Structure 1
Amino acid sequence: MTTPAAAVWGRAEQQDFRARVRGCLLGGAVGDALGAGIAALSLDEIRAAHGPDGAADLVPAYGRRGAVTAATQLTLFTVDGLIRAQVRRDTGAWHPPTDVHRAHLRWAATQRDWGPDERRKDNGWLAREEWLYTRRDPSRSCLTGLADEVLGTVDKPKNPTARDAGAVVRSAPFGLLVGWEPQLVCQLAVECAAQTHGHPTAYLSAGAFAVIVHGLARGETVDGSVQRALSLLTNRPGHQPVTDALKQALGAVRQGIPSPTRIDALGDPENAEDALAVAVYCTLVGEDVRHGLRLAVNHDGPSHTTGTLCGALLGALHGETALPPAWLAELEGRSTILELADDFAMEMTQGPALHGPAASAPGWLQRYPRG
């Protein structure tokens, strides 16, 4: 499990990488916010409230426009965990699934505490962001899986019957580890998904999603990235529902004009593999980010889930500047997301200059403690 040394990153490569990281994290959050206000509605109810074309703009949720759900919250803590894993690597105690699990436990604290615990000096800066201390419809499996400090594994997963997309929606950051080999990205996403979602279709969907993001963040095509995910899943037990769903998404592209009917034919987005299929389909057929996201949220099913997944894919594919500025302007937590995205990009491209044998930045280690 290696990341590229700073020497291989030219300025243009660093700028492209940062744009894709920002695009992925902001895009996922925008898709989440776009779907949050209609997530509990059927397509008929969405059309009755917003017109025959469905919701075309942000809809108020949780008392405001642009509000995000637990999907974005958890994604941010995944990023935090990956940065902490890289920082801890200097100590020789490098085990990314453990660091991501600790980060998700910090998220779990935001779901039960009134606010940040200033006594916890090892929490880092993200866990001190007060706006995160609110419950935004997390999946039950995430709450129960992170209710104690026991680390679930693929051999002994938490919630072995949980097959919703609660682990998939937090897995885009694994794909941003562009210096890793795709099979390692897949394995890390799978191991971390099993900490809350033990059904094979749930954790393999998380692995597939991470691999697709990984390809897009490297500048590859959507189709090529999906094909790589399919090849990596083939030898894994229980892969068939996931690979079938992805193949169905690819095939649906050739079946005519995109519509909610075609999206409904991809399955029930309450299930991880079907939510992933919807996101892949909408990414492939969307004329631009706005069109793709509108397709991804106007259907029967959890609109915030499919919006999050599609937004992350589109953002990784096109970069931050392709995202609709009017939606970004109202996005809850935008400054936090940007700050974390830039920290991730800096750690992955310039980590040795922040913490290493030749240099040390005390401020960085306060933001991302090794403890």
Structure 2
Amino acid sequence: MQRAEAEAWRARVRGCLLGGAIGDALGGPVEFEDSRSILAKHPELVRTFVDGGPGRPPGTITDDTQMTLFTAEGLIRAGVRTDRGLGFTVAVVQHAYDRWLDTQTLPGPSGERDGWLQREQWLYARRAPGNTCLNALTEARKGGDRIPQFGAAAVNDSKGCGGVMRVAPFGLLPAVYPTEWVFDAAADAAGYTHGHPTGKLAAGTLAVIIHELCAGAGLDEALTRAISVLVQHDGHDETSAALTFARHLAATAPANPVTVERLGGGWIAEEALAIAVYAALAYPEPGQFLDAVALAVTHSGDSDSTGAICGNLLGTLHGETALPAELVFTVEGRPVILQLADDFALEFTQRDRLHGDWGPYTEWTTRYPGW
């Protein structure tokens, strides 16, 4: 990349990860409330961080951001792995999810894992993690304390949103990674926990939208491109129909929670993606980020996931400077989120200066082991 292009892309990477965390933290405290109850307390929609109960002060992120961070770390480690001449191996991301599972089952770092992210104590907090993710990864361990072999798909028929809500980092990969490959890789990563075709195809579609946004496309153009890739896959009907309806509502219906709930509750993959896309299309301008994520979380459904995905989309589209300062300032884990975003950008733009001739013996590859 040229310098200006690399700077713009880095701003999108930071905007995506931090924007997703903001949407997640906005939606987390209202995830299990109905829209009437939410609107009674927040008549202007949920526009500020609110208390989520014991141990969850305003600005607290959930499992959505946790898993997204481990996705990003896994992709960095997959990049490092290419030093071995093995190519870019998506299964390394399943290893990252195995480390995330430790954060949900152990009180703190065990000292038996490598890399730096799993040593962050604040990530060892259960924030209503999805049962499908927990069960699929536990089953992949085959009774042990870690997954013995990475890359196998989950054996279930779930299309819950736990696959799509974490795959945004796949879309952030530079343009050298072809669009169709990005789709398939994100779908495979979702398939490590969610076996239904819709759960995987919705994830692939989100990744392509973000990939196109990183290339400079507008939101509507990126959505068109993503749908054109989606419809080439068997079983696309649920996802393509949901996105077509979201686009229709954004053009014809008022931007309010009633319209959001016409798209469903967001508990399943295609609905979560459609709600996030609808909210982003309803408020696509840089100064409307908060309007969009507030709309995305104010409904009787999976508010943290729809908020996180919407934040991923608009954070990518506009870059980090479009994010509301008062939310950036107080969202949980900001230093780690931004450090990981910057490391992601470094790995995929300046890896030759980080890996060098020393291969696995550098400080960088101690931080990000290639497996």
Q: Same fold (TM over 0.5)?
A: yes
Alignment of 1:1-371 (within 5 A): 9-50=1-42, 52-61=43-52, 62-120=55-113, 123-147=114-138, 148=141, 149=147, 157-179=153-175, 180-286=177-283, 287=285, 288-357=288-357, 362-371=362-371
Paired amino acid for 1:259: N
Counterpart-to-counterpart distance in 2, 1:60 and 1:14: 37
When residues 205 and 44 of structure 1 are mapped into structure 2, their CA distance, relative to the original with a 3 A threshold, is: same
Contact 2:290 2:324 in 1 (8 A): yes
Shift of 1:361: 7.5
> 3-state DSSP class of the match of 1:267?
coil
Contact 2:187 2:200 in 1 (8 A): yes
Shift of 1:38: 0.6
Contact 2:265 2:299 in 1 (8 A): no
Paired amino acid for 2:133: C
Shift of 1:55: 2.1
Contact 1:38 1:303 in 2 (8 A): yes
Counterpart-to-counterpart distance in 1, 2:326 and 2:121: 25
Counterpart-to-counterpart distance in 2, 1:358 and 1:193: 34
Shift of 1:256: 3.4
> 3-state DSSP class of the match of 2:90?
helix
Contact 1:159 1:198 in 2 (8 A): yes
Contact 1:191 1:203 in 2 (8 A): yes
Contact 2:279 2:292 in 1 (8 A): yes
> 3-state DSSP class of the match of 2:239?
helix
- Once the two structures are superposed, residues 61-89 of structure 1 have per-residue CA deviations (whole angstroms, 9 ceiling, x without a partner) of 24311000000000000000000011010
Contact 2:91 2:150 in 1 (8 A): no
Paired amino acid for 1:96: T
Q: TM-score, normalised by structure 1?
A: 0.93
Q: TM-score, normalised by structure 2?
A: 0.93
Shift of 1:186: 0.2
Counterpart-to-counterpart distance in 2, 1:93 and 1:139: 32
Match of 1:4 in 2: none
Match of 1:5 in 2: none
Paired amino acid for 1:345: A
Match of 1:3 in 2: none
- Once the two structures are superposed, residues 177-197 of structure 1 have per-residue CA deviations (whole angstroms, 9 ceiling, x without a partner) of 122111000000011111100
Bigger mean CA offset, 285-294 vs 202-211: 285-294
Counterpart-to-counterpart distance in 1, 2:24 and 2:63: 9
Contact 2:79 2:370 in 1 (8 A): no
RMSD value over aligned CA atoms? 1.7
Shift of 1:360: 8.0
> Gaps (5+ residues) in structure 2?
142-146
> 3-state DSSP class of the match of 2:350?
helix
> 3-state DSSP class of the match of 1:66?
coil
Counterpart-to-counterpart distance in 1, 2:89 and 2:323: 30
> Gaps (5+ residues) in structure 1?
1-8
> 3-state DSSP class of the match of 1:37?
helix
Paired amino acid for 1:85: A
Paired amino acid for 1:110: T
Count of aligned residue pairs for this structure pair:
358
When residues 353 and 360 of structure 1 are mapped into structure 2, their CA distance, relative to the original with a 3 A threshold, is: farther
> 3-state DSSP class of the match of 1:105?
helix
Bigger mean CA offset, 265-274 vs 14-23: 265-274
